[in-house]
């Protein structure tokens, strides 16, 4: 359990909070590239850690991320016109449709048509602009101090060929931390996802090993190794012939996790990003660093298979199975082939995590030995947020791209073999992905 004070510290991410300050030191996975796919596309409205922004791609292909509201009288630039050089001022930018003030991607006001042509007023007007970048079919935004801007993340899924990955996004109506804790806590896989073979064809090749190990031993012992990027987590289950079955995952500062890889199959990654303190984006990525995903795989993910969720077509990214319809829980299914009666791995996770309340009251928890990794991640985040709040020159961990080049694994090992040593090689991301092209 956590004290009231620590629960607040962990979950509050506004700009004045210690956790908000820590999280603002990292590039934020903010949008799928497809949301601003075309030059001069419609602006996208987006809230990150309580800050409202608009993101757009200019007619000449550059990305802009601006505070949402116009400096004049605070109308939303979401309704604005994304104009090309052929406009009256000859520049690309976003024009407010209330009185026509227009902004460049640097936030400077470049046209103010409701003031006299001789006026110099516009030269004094600037709204907040945020650094924005694109990598791995993801739009990344940096909300922190400009002097501290880090290198873009070198997470393996973001640097492999686009044919090798599939990304999806869904809205989760809970605080980011409890969503992320679900990603770290792999002991629930033996229960909540025990029907996963129904939803995840990527596991069929492993049906006689992975699934059976997971269901045969539902009380894994957790081992946590602190690392420069975050934590290496080993979940140990008993396997046949006196061996251990290890599922080895990483949690990377401040909001990423990798799910254990089965053999040479695809890897699942997640990013849990605060929208505000009661909602988060869950980005899910399935990737194979070694080969392209097949059309069959990506079709399956697109239809809500594996860890991906089908979402409403209204742009909200709210899953079609959501708390308004009790996730379409099927009690007959629950009595027969499914532990939960809820269809799909992602929705099983969402149902449990949202059912805890928007911001779970961690003073009421009773944590056991299988919660070791969750406890360690909390401690790490709390310690780093406190350290930064006390001394703004402290460098948060996990910002070095070289440290992020890791991947998850699984292994069956004799009992006397070190899981860390035995899997060292298979946990390295392939160096070829980082060669300058
Ligand atoms: S509010 Fe935007 S131009 Fe007036
Ligand atoms: Fe899960």
Residues 160 and 120 in one domain: no
User: What tokens does 412 get?
Assistant: 């069956």
CA of 349 to the centre of ligand 2 (A): 5
- Please report, for the domain that includes residue 130, its CATH number: 2.102.10.10
Q: Are residues 170 and 124 in the same domain?
A: no
Give the residue, out of 43, 73, 110, with the most ligand 1 atoms within 8 A of its beta carbon, to mutate for a pocket test. Answer: 73
Q: Which of 97, 118, 141 is the last residue of a domain?
A: 141
Which one-letter DSSP state was computed for residue 129?
B
Residues 194, 128 within the same domain: no
Ligand 2 centroid to residue 189 C-alpha, Å: 6
**Claim to verify: residue 96 and residue 161 sit in the same structural domain:** no
Residue 123 lies in a domain: yes
Please check whether residues 410 and 327 belong to one and the same domain.
yes
| 75 ligand 1 Cβ < 6 A | yes
Same domain, 318 and 210: yes
For residues 172 and 246, state if they share a domain: yes
Sign of CA dihedral 159, 162, 165, 167: positive
User: At 356, phi and psi to the nearest 5?
Assistant: -75, -5
Q: Per the domain annotation, does 5 fall within a domain?
A: no
Residue 235's beta-bridge partner residues?
222, 247
Residues 314 and 423 in one domain: yes
CA separation (Å) from 145 to 10, 25, 105, 132, 133? 21, 7, 18, 14, 16
Residue 178 sits in the same domain as residue 108? no
pLDDT at 316: 97
Are 234 and 181 members of one domain?
yes
In angstroms, the CA 189 to CA 187 distance is 5
Give the pLDDT score at 207. 46
Q: Is 73 in the pocket of ligand 1 (CB under 6 A)?
A: yes
Q: Could you say which of 141, 164, 181 is where a domain stops? A: 141
Q: Are residues 245 and 183 in the same domain?
A: yes
Together in a domain, 124 and 203: no
Is residue 22 included in any domain, yes or no? no
> Does residue 17 form part of some domain?
no
Residue 228: how many CB atoms within 10 A of its CB? 12
DSSP percent split of the chain into helix, strand, coil, nearest 5: 30, 25, 45
Edge-to-edge strand list for the sheet holding 81-83: 81-83, 93-95, 102-103, 109-111
Relative to the alpha carbon of 71, which ligand is closest?
1
Burial tier of 237 (Cβ tally within 10 Å: 0-12, 13-18, 19+): buried
Separation in Å, CA 8 to CA 14, 25, 179, 271, 361: 11, 19, 16, 21, 10
Domain-located, residue 146: no
Which residue's CA lies nearest to atom 3 of ligand 1? Answer: 99
Peptide bond into 131 cis (omega under 30): no
Task: Please list, in sequence order, all residues whose beta carbon lies within 8 angstroms of the beta carbon of residue 8, skipping any fewer than 6 positions away.
Answer: none
101 CB within 6 A, ligand 1: yes
pLDDT value of position 211? 59
The domain of 41 spans: 28-141
Q: What is the CATH number of the domain that holds 286?
A: 3.90.380.10
Write down the pLDDT at residue 216.
72
Q: Give the pLDDT of residue 205.
A: 47
DSSP 300: H
Model confidence over 376-405: pLDDT tens digits?
999 999 999 999 999 999 999 999 999 999
* pLDDT at residue 202, as a whole number: 67
The parts of the chain modelled with pLDDT lower than 70 are 201-212, 215, 436-437
pLDDT of residue 201: 66
Do the Cβ atoms of 291 and 430 come closer than 8 Å? Answer: no
| pLDDT tens figures, 240-298 | 889 999 999 999 999 999 999 999 999 999 999 999 999 999 999 999 999 999 999 99
User: Is 148 among the domain residues?
Assistant: no
Helix axes 372-390, 4-11, angle to 10 degrees: 80
Q: For the chain, what is the largest distance between any 2 Cα atoms, rounded to a whole number of angstroms?
A: 86
Q: How many separate domains does the chain show? A: 2
328 in ligand 1 pocket by Cβ < 6 Å? Answer: no
Beta carbons within 10 angstroms of residue 8's beta carbon: 16
Q: Is residue 6 part of a domain?
A: no
Last residue of a domain, one of 110, 141, 172: 141
Does the CB atom of residue 379 touch ligand 1 within 6 A? no
- Nearest partner of 191 among 341, 21, 402, judged by Cα: 341
The candidate with the shortest Cα–Cα distance to 193, out of 248, 259, 239, is: 259
- 76 C-alpha to center of ligand 1: Å? 8
In a domain, 89, yes or no: yes
Is the shortest distance between the CB of 125 and ligand 1 below 6 Å?
no
Q: Determine if ligand 1 sits within 6 Å of the CB of residue 55.
A: no
């Amino acid at each position: 359990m956590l004290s009231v004070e620590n629960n607040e510290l962990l979950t509050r991410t506004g700009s004045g909070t210690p956790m908000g300050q820590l999280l603002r030191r990292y590039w934020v996975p903010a949008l799928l590239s497809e949301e601003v796919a075309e030059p001069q596309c419609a602006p996208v409205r987006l809230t990150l850690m309580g800050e409202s922004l608009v993101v757009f791609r200019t007619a000449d292909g550059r990305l802009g991320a601006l505070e949402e509201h116009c400096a004049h009288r605070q109308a939303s630039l979401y309704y604005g016109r994304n104009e090309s050089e052929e406009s009256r001022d000859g520049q690309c930018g976003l024009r407010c449709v209330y009185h026509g003030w227009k902004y460049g991607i640097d936030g400077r006001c470049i046209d103010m048509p409701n003031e006299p042509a001789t006026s110099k007023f516009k030269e004094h007007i600037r709204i907040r602009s945020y650094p924005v970048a694109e990598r791995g079919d993801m739009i990344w935004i940096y909300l922190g101090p400009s002097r501290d801007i880090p290198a873009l993340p070198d997470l393996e899924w973001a640097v492999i060929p686009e044919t090798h990955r599939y990304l999806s996004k869904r809205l989760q109506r809970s605080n980011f931390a409890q969503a992320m804790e679900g990603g770290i806590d792999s002991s629930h896989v033996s229960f909540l996802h025990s029907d996963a073979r129904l939803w995840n064809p990527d596991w069929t090749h492993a049906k006689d090993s992975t699934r059976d190990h997971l269901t045969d031993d539902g009380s894994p012992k957790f081992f946590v190794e602190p690392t420069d990027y975050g934590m290496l987590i080993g979940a140990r289950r008993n396997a046949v012939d006196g061996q251990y079955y290890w599922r080895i995952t990483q949690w990377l500062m401040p909001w990423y996790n990798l799910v254990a890889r089965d053999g040479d199959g695809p890897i699942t990654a997640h990013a849990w990003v605060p929208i505000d303190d009661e909602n988060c984006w869950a980005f899910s990525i399935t990737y194979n660093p070694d080969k392209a995903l097949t059309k069959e795989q990506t079709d399956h993910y697109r239809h809500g298979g594996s860890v991906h969720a089908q979402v409403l077509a209204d742009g909200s990214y709210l899953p079609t199975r959501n708390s308004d319809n009790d996730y379409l829980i099927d009690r007959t299914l629950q009595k027969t082939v499914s532990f939960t009666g809820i269809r799909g791995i992602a929705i099983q996770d969402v149902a449990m995590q949202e059912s805890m309340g928007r911001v779970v009251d961690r003073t009421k928890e009773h944590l056991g030995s299988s919660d070791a990794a969750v406890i360690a991640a909390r401690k790490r985040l709390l310690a780093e947020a406190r350290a930064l709040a006390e001394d703004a020159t402290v460098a948060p961990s996990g910002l070095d791209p070289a440290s992020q080049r890791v991947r998850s694994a699984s292994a069956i090992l004799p009992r006397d073999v070190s899981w860390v040593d035995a899997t060292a090689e298979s946990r390295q991301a392939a160096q070829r992905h980082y060669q300058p092209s």
